[in-house]
Amino acid sequence: MAGTPRQRLDTSIPHPARVWDYWLGGNENFASDREVATLITEVMPDMPINARSERQFIGRCVGLLAGETGVDQFLDVGAGISNAGNTHLVAQKINPAARIVYVDNDPIVLIHARALMESTPDGAVDYLDADLRHPDPLLQAASETIDFSRPVGLMLLGVIEFVTDDTLALDAVHTLIDALSPGSYVAIASSMPSPGMRAAVDVWHARGGAPLVLRTPENLTRFFDGLDLLEPGVVSLPQWRPDTLTDYRDREVYQYGGVARKH
Ligand SMILES: C[S@@+](CC[C@H](N)C(=O)[O-])C[C@H]1O[C@@H](n2cnc3c(N)ncnc32)[C@H](O)[C@@H]1O
């Protein structure tokens, strides 16, 4: 990517990673991020719940993969700023030898990545400054840490909305899926259209935020084509295999997702 991370770090416009970090209760955000986050919650008060539901989904999903299925390698694209409940924290708690590659295209994520994403001695945590829209170089770089001849958990949480063109997004995701061996899993979550979400996106775009698109559950399901979608399918995140720690089960959460297995 052009420029050093600090040169690319423009704190005057809101960035998805930093706004998301704010809603998750983190400190890695600037005035422009907090301002737009506040404006968005005025039109969509449940927005922080979307972010927190996605974090909890990471916990249940990575818990299932690292625990029950024995997947010990994860490629987390659109990782965001490390926060409680990140993929490596969940996976390495279950399997200290787990290997995780995080990918994001936001320079602030890169700047904080090494400090925030510490591995266990037996496992590995790597970070790539790369872009979902360019999956081939992403895969090439990830293969330094991940062995693609063995199963991988591919995580695409809250990121496909930033690839607004459907064909480009489907092609990019399926290029990643094609590189996975049978027995791999794919988790995808994305924001859904609702009046509140549409108003939130309007605010986001008016303040110069990176273009994003809301996809319906049917549209999101197309990203799992060719895979075996696990029960209960593509659902509002708190409804995806909730456990005793799952919050917001009685709320309309417009962040949907699912998990599928490659056969
Ligand atoms: C809404 S946050 C989600 C963070 C985390 N996955 C979670 O679920 O809590 C979206 C993240 O995707 C990153 N992102 C957006 N477009 C991207 C792209 N084309 N390639 C890689 N990362 C991207 C943003 O920088 C941001 O960190």
83-97: pLDDT as tens digits: 778 999 999 999 999
Instruction: Report the C-alpha gap between 39 and 42 in whole angstroms.
Output: 5
Tokens at 244, concatenated: 């005793």
Q: What is the pLDDT of residues 25-69, one digit of tens each?
A: 998 899 999 999 999 999 999 999 999 999 999 999 999 999 999
pLDDT band of 166, cuts 50, 70, 90:
very high
What are the tens digits of pLDDT across the range 180-210? 999 999 999 999 999 999 999 999 999 999 9
Residue 94 DSSP symbol: H
Ligand 1 near 21 CB (within 6 A): no
Residue type, 85: G
Angle ∠(232,16,119) on CA atoms, nearest 5? 75
Task: Give residue 203's pLDDT.
Answer: 97
pTM over 0.85: yes
Tokens of 232: 């209960």
Q: Best mutation site among 101, 105, 128 for ligand 1, i.e. most ligand atoms within 8 A of its Cβ?
A: 105
Tell me which of 131, 162, 163, 188 to substitute to probe ligand 1's pocket, judged by most ligand atoms within 8 Å of the beta carbon: 162
Query: 12-261 is classed in which CATH architecture?
Result: 3-Layer(aba) Sandwich (3.40)
Residue minimizing CA distance to atom 3 of ligand 1: 158
pLDDT for residue 74: 98
Residue spans per domain, the chain: 12-261
Phi, psi of 129 (to 5 degrees): -90, 90
Ligand 1 touching residue 54 (CB < 6 A): yes
User: Which pLDDT value is given to residue 2?
Assistant: 53
**Contact between 189 and 237 (Cβ < 8 Å):** yes
CA distances from 14 to 117, 171, 207, 213, 233 (A): 23, 28, 7, 17, 33
